[in-house]
Amino acid sequence: MSERLQPNGNPITIEGITIQTPGLSGRVDAYLPGEVGTRAASGWTDALAEAFEGQHVETQLILELSDTYEEPDASPVGTRATHYDEPAMVLDVPDPGADWGQILVYTDESGVTTWSYARDESGALDTTRGGATRTFVVPRAVAPGTDDGTGRGAFGAVAKKIIGIVVFPLLDPVFGLVGEFFARRWEETKRPYRFRSFTEEDYASPNADSPAWDLMGSGRSLLMVHGTFSRAHAGFGGLSKSLVGDLHEIYGGRVFAFDHFTLCDDPMDNVAWFVEHLPEGINLDLDIICHSRGGLVSRVLAERIDEFDLGDRRIQVDKVIFGAAPNNGTILTNAKYMGDFVDSYTNLINFIPTNFVTDALDAVITVAKLVSTGVLNGLDGLQSMRPEGDFLSELNARAEQGGRYFALSSDFEPTNAGWKRYAADRLMDKIFKEPNDLVVPAASPYQENGSDRFPILPRLEFGVNAGVDHSGYFANPAAREQILGWLTF
């Protein structure tokens, strides 16, 4: 089914959905799941389809907007804008019922993907359910002439605007109610706590043995601590096999990793599990390489370990290498910007996919569900990164002990023109207002924050020309070389 968009702002209806696009001309086609159409319209990519299936997300309808062009003089009224004042399309979509959540997944011509949630007339999140329709305000901006029309990333075809309308049961058959304890049940099932080996053979694999504790306690060991949405094999999968071999040589084979909850538990909870599950009587003398939120876990191990009941265990931390750690927070974890946090990770996955795209998308969908329902309680792990939040305020107010700190940071600028404009117009101008790697401000890993452990002077800062995004530190040759240098001096 196909309809012409009305640049004068008059609504059109297609498959029960009303669309208003003042100032935008073009054509819209609607596809039911499984119908023949574009790559996206025929059912997303395999990775996204697998992630949706695992999260019990169903596709209601896919809209494909093609041959679009701006025609601002054709509209007697202005376009309703997003809360960032971006030109928008307004869709009134049939409510799927009181027992279902609903999200719009929008990919523009340049491949930039954003998640849209129902809004009321004031632009606030609308969590009412069971009415006739729900209203979505979808950004439509795209840098012109920026792509060649080939497929991209996890979200299917580009060169056209693709809007996917998806629904999910609010009572998930596996993870239960999409509410305060949803993230915990998801992590218990999909991201369980564990200690794992980290060898040349298994460091990039989800399958790994438990560490050989007798060996780990026999001398200085190296601990790998991953960041948000991740596990060790994904977060550090960018390391080369040869570098992992070098690390084992430096530490006499004493290298292991800590997989832990990043959504529902804060770093104090993470370390409590770490301590409780160590063998009795072990003596750990640690250096740490950590990424993103894992830096906060590492700081608790280094600075606050005396607050835990160690029994006859002993833990001491010397060197900590922080890769993109939000030591001074990231504003994206403020409730106001949690949707942007999801969007930023989505586009990192989309433009710079890894070998574990489905795993990453699974985590993103988990948080997107919670954002859409307005229930952000139970995300203590994310809230621990909130600037001036309770956790960081306390962590940065004291540092009675701690090791020698080193930092990796980056000011990242995308090369795809659409993604570049998204990052500049939204992340830079409206949110961060300072250099960033798309998730964490560039200065957050090392800058003065109130703790006497900061600022960190031994550091490697990547500029915009280095192309190091939030997930790309450990694949960068200069970062790898610097890590070895810090660990061996």
Torsion of CA 262, 268, 269, 272, to 10 degrees: 130
Any residues with CB less than 8 A from the CB of 370 and at least 6 apart, and which? 178, 182, 183, 376, 378, 379
The one-character DSSP state at 265 is S
Mean pLDDT of the chain: 90
CATH of 183-488, one of 1.10.357.10, 3.40.50.1820, 3.40.50.920, 3.10.20.340: 3.40.50.1820
Contact 387, 396 (CB under 8 A): no
pLDDT of residue 368: 96
Confidence of residue 42 (pLDDT cuts 50, 70, 90): very low
Domain ranges of the chain: 2-169, 183-488
43 pLDDT more than 60? no
Any residues with CB less than 8 A from the CB of 271 and at least 6 apart, and which? 297, 300, 301, 304, 305, 308
What pLDDT digit, counting tens, does each position of 105-141 carry? 998 888 888 999 999 988 899 998 888 999 999 988 6
Q: How far apart are CA 178 and CA 185, in angstroms?
A: 10
Contact 423, 434 (CB under 8 A): no
pLDDT of residue 81: 65
pLDDT top residue among 356 and 115: 115
Contact 409, 445 (CB under 8 A): yes
Strands 459-462 and 404-410: parallel
What pLDDT digit, counting tens, does each position of 3-38 carry? 999 998 899 999 999 999 988 899 999 998 866 454
What pLDDT digit, counting tens, does each position of 213-240 carry? 999 999 999 999 999 999 999 999 999 9
155 pLDDT more than 60? no
Q: What predicted TM-score, i.e. pTM, was given to this entire model?
A: 0.93
Report the chain's terminal Cα–Cα distance, integer Å: 67
**Residue in 304, 275, 260, 293 with CA at minimum distance from that of residue 444:** 293
